[in-house]
Structure 1
């Protein structure tokens, strides 16, 4: 059986690239395809051959990959994948457009819908270039939305990273999607049952992260809060924060690990599609107080790993913090939850089970799914 793995572009290292790295590990003999490849700036594929599109020959394309958005759909359509029996595309935008053989199986790991097309203002409002060029770009985006909907029909099966993204795929693309929660590297976090007297926020200081809610709630409570991270909202947030709140900006990996392990709780006020910070807290044995929508609904267990608040308001967060402070947390159970659900091995087990349920028995046998995992 010939397998192809396809990713939008390998020019950075983010969550989507981490999942593609896991697919490459799970299928070590599969051929790899992408539009642009910069081995110095992305995941380590070692000696694997990476097949690219014609865009790779454009000088500077890998560093300015966002500028080539209108060219990706035609570039992926030109890839030669007719010889492959099973194709996995890993995408937030374009790779789902690959042309496959009629009897081939195309499984799309869709990390999100194409956000710059379907949530343009939210996704691009921070880019000055978009604000200046939006009258010229919007007609192009209009045509690209039509293509995005058309090519969304190409995959046979969709897999999302959370129920929130699965719902979005259904709503925008009119395609059903299963979901498998993606793992993190838990070895980067250390467990501690000895908590110190401070609460922790870890995020970029952007408006949608709603750190203003957290600051106001802790102003009322007077409890010690440490805010880790930087961004355009920092100056405004510092101006309204009382002396019990400390902004520490960026810190070393070692210090970040220590803070996650020692914090009494980690606070998350944003609506995240998936959200890694709550899982990182759980690996550290630390409970989470989070806005109860989005990815946390898949990753957190109320009363076991954390507490939800149902409105993005300081009053709702204040009530949740009081509730959480009265809980008798089992820090070992919190970490066990993370180890059971969000490790690399847990991901491979879920992936294999999904493929067994999805593929015919002959294909599953050829992939070795009825034998111990290759991972």
Structure 2
């Protein structure tokens, strides 16, 4: 099978890149295509040294820093990537990869993390992040995002088959694109965790520090609770959060997988408030025997078994989180650890290979 895998931006090693690495482990001869590729940021990861064919966007000066602001250019770029020589095209999409153009002799499978979130439910966050929320420029930006939504919906018909990373994403695909999709949860390396027999007395939050992750609300809650909280992650919100946080809260910035694994193995509970399409960090926490306290929407509702492996709170607010934290003392570390096996890499490989076999043979 001559296989092309289409990614969007390969400049960090995050959730969709881990998914890509797992698929390449199954199909090592596949050719990877991406809009942009930053080799330096992938040194030491499973994608280190991988040959990647890129779009014309790779030639834009400082594109690795500017790419999110170039979202309106991405449909044009993805449509001009040439994949005609491949039998099967697999796109991993959370923005535009599903819009790759194929012909009737090819099979196109799109594994969808989400429909283009910045053109749909995170439009205001995108405009604020890129300083496009002023009256005049904001009107033009909203018009552009409206055109992107139209392209997103129309280009979704190009894939022959759709996979979704969660039931939540499948619902969003149905709402935005009016198409059915099959759910295969992404792989999580649950084997790397070794839960501590005695948990330490701190709570943990791991996230990119951007507005929709709601880290500010988590800090507000722990400012009031006066309980120890460790925050791992970096992003544009960091200066604001550092000013907010009181002495019981430590912001560690970016940390290696080894440090995060150790913290999860020891933490009393993992707290999360964002609405995620899946939520790998929540699965990792449970694999470490760390119960999860999360907002009851999105992937969290599929990952956390309320009252057993964690607690789900009903409002996206510091008060609702605080109430859940105060009720969390009897959560079961063993149950959380055992539950994470549902999302293992071994389970993913079995389901994904079976799906590919069925699609290609039919």
Does TM, normalized by the shorter one, top 0.5? yes
Partner deviation per Cα, 1:57-77 (whole Å, 9 max, x = no partner)? 445445533454343323332
- Contact conserved, 2:230 with 2:252, CA < 8 A, in 1? no
Rounded Cα–Cα distance in structure 1 between residues aligned with 2:14 and 2:66: 16
Q: Which has the larger radius of gyration?
A: 1
Give the match's secondary structure for 2:250: strand
> How do residues 231-242 of structure 1 correspond to structure 2 at under 5 angstroms?
231-235=238-242, 237-238=244-245
Residue deviations 1:248-280, cap 9 Å, x none? 433744554333222222222332222233222
Residue of structure 1 equivalent to 2:131: 128
> Is 2:280 the partner of 1:273?
no
- Give 5+ residue unaligned stretches, structure 2: none
In the alignment, which residue of structure 2 is the partner of 1:371?
A: none
Q: Residues 318 and 34 (structure 1 numbering): CA distance in 2 closer, same or farther, change over 3 Å?
A: closer
Moved more, 290-299 or 264-273: 264-273
How many corresponding residue pairs? Answer: 354
**Alpha carbons of structure 1 residues 40 and 256: separation in structure 2 relative to 1, 3 Å:** closer
Return the TM-score normalized by structure 1: 0.81
CA drift at 1:121: 0.9
Indicate the SS of the match to 1:36. Answer: strand
Separation in structure 1 between the aligned mates of residue 220 and residue 63 of structure 2, nearest angstrom: 44
Name whichever of 282-291 and 183-192 sits farther off.
183-192
CA distance in 2, matches of 1:137, 1:269: 28
Are 1:274 and 1:296, in contact at CA under 8 Å, matched by a contact in 2?
yes
**1: CA distance, partners of 2:163 / 2:177:** 13
Q: Which residue of 2 aligns with 1:19?
A: 19
Report the Cα offset of residue 149 of structure 1.
1.8
SS at match of 2:129: coil
Question: Counterpart in 2 of 1:351?
Answer: 352
SS of residue in 2 equivalent to 1:8: strand
Shift of 1:318: 4.3
Q: For residues 113 and 140 of structure 1, what CA distance do their matches in structure 2 show?
A: 16
Answer whether contact 1:89 1:108 (CA < 8 A) is retained: yes
Are 1:84 and 1:101, in contact at CA under 8 Å, matched by a contact in 2? no
Q: Which is further off, 309-318 or 151-160?
A: 309-318
Is this contact kept in 2: 1:193–1:285, CA < 8 A? Answer: no
Bigger shift: residues 74-83 or 301-310: 74-83
Tell me whether 125-134 or 275-284 shows the greater mean CA deviation.
Answer: 125-134
Secondary structure of 2:33's partner?
A: strand
| Equivalences for residues 87-98 of structure 1 within 5 A | 87-98=89-100
For the residue of structure 2 that corresponds to 1:137, the secondary structure is: helix
